[in-house]
Homo-oligomer: A and B are copies of this chain.
Amino acid sequence: MRILISNDDGYLAPGINALAEALAPIAEIVVVAPDSNRSGASNSLSLDRPLSVQRAANGFYFVNGTPSDCVHVALTAILDYKPDLVVSGINNGPNMGDDTLYSGTVAAATEGFLFGIPAIAFSQGTYGWEHIDDAARHARDLIQRYYDTLPRPCLWNVNIPNRPYEQLNAVVATRLGRRHQSEPVIKAKDPRGKDIYWIGPPGACKEAGEGTDFHALAAGKTSITPLQIDLTHTSQLSALAKALA
């Protein structure tokens, strides 16, 4: 199996290193990741400037671009074959509910999915990298256990609780939960007295009931949410068609 690995925390992050180390024994891996932290990058692509690709001492490629840029460049310029799987992560912190929209981790996997390759985004439920090696080993287990039966095409969003490997045994299929609207920006002053604004933390959970990713993680379980990327609001479509007729 040949696996392309990317992320949004940058190629130096503990999460991508743990994932690469865990997958190396079961696959031929190539890592192509941003040169620095691009959290919150969503699906953004760099259209107004060219990208550079460099290679670190450990063989990882790094790109001065977004997660989507990295997978795009990897698939159309670095690799001369189509990998069997694109994985992204392991992210420092969760990507659940509406946050999935903003996630560079999910975006990297989505780019692979758009090229027709099965893709999985991995995130840890809590910030701080605790038990990251356990999460990586668990991620490898999931790939080994389910790769052959993945639907094609396939885009999975996986969130893993920060727990020792032995306690990572519950895995549930989930839907994305919902958040309340974000907290307001945080207004401050820079040292020269100018007003500045920091994007604030996400809002509290709004829909976190049974069956959601929020609910799974709160119960210490790994959530797998199968994703699709067609944003069409099918149920509003026919009413609109009537209104416009």
A183, B172: Cα distance in complex, Å: 37
Question: C-beta contact mask, A214-245 vs B, less than 8 Å → 1, else 0?
Answer: 00000000001111111111101111110110
Any B CB within 8 A of the CB of A114: yes
Any B CB within 8 A of the CB of A209: no
**Known interface pairs A42-B45, A176-B230, A181-B116. Does A196 touch B101 (Cβ–Cβ under 8 Å)?**
no
Any B CB within 8 A of the CB of A188: yes
Q: Kindly list chain B residues whose C-beta atoms are within 8 Å of the C-beta of A25.
A: none
Q: Kindly list chain B residues whose C-beta atoms are within 8 Å of the C-beta of A151.
A: 236, 239
Quickly give the copy total for this chain.
4
**Known interface pairs A52-B195, A114-B98, A231-B229. Does A184 touch B224 (Cβ–Cβ under 8 Å)?**
no
**Known interface pairs A198-B50, A244-B224. Does A42 touch B40 (Cβ–Cβ under 8 Å)?**
no
**Known interface pairs A100-B231, A231-B101. Does A200 touch B76 (Cβ–Cβ under 8 Å)?**
yes
What are 21 sample pairs from A and B whose C-beta atoms fall under 8 A apart?
A39-B47, A42-B44, A43-B101, A43-B102, A45-B102, A47-B192, A50-B197, A50-B198, A76-B185, A98-B229, A114-B181, A173-B244, A175-B232, A176-B232, A191-B201, A224-B244, A226-B232, A226-B236, A227-B231, A228-B231, A229-B231
Give min CB distance, A151 to chain B, whole Å. Answer: 6
Contact at B50–A190, with CB atoms within 8 Å? yes
Chain B residue nearest to A127 in the complex (CB): B192
Partner of A231, one of B104, B176, B192: B176
A66, B115: Cα distance in complex, Å: 26
A77, B115: Cα distance in complex, Å: 40
A153, B33: Cα distance in complex, Å: 37
Residue among A76, A104, A146, A228 having the largest count of chain B Cβ atoms under 10 Å: A76
Contact at A36–B35, with CB atoms within 8 Å? yes
Any B CB within 8 A of the CB of A1: no
Contact at B45–A197, with CB atoms within 8 Å? no
Q: Kindly list chain B residues whose C-beta atoms are within 8 Å of the C-beta of A201.
A: 191-192
Any B CB within 8 A of the CB of A205: no
Question: C-beta contact mask, A23-50 vs B, less than 8 Å → 1, else 0?
Answer: 0000000000001110111111111111
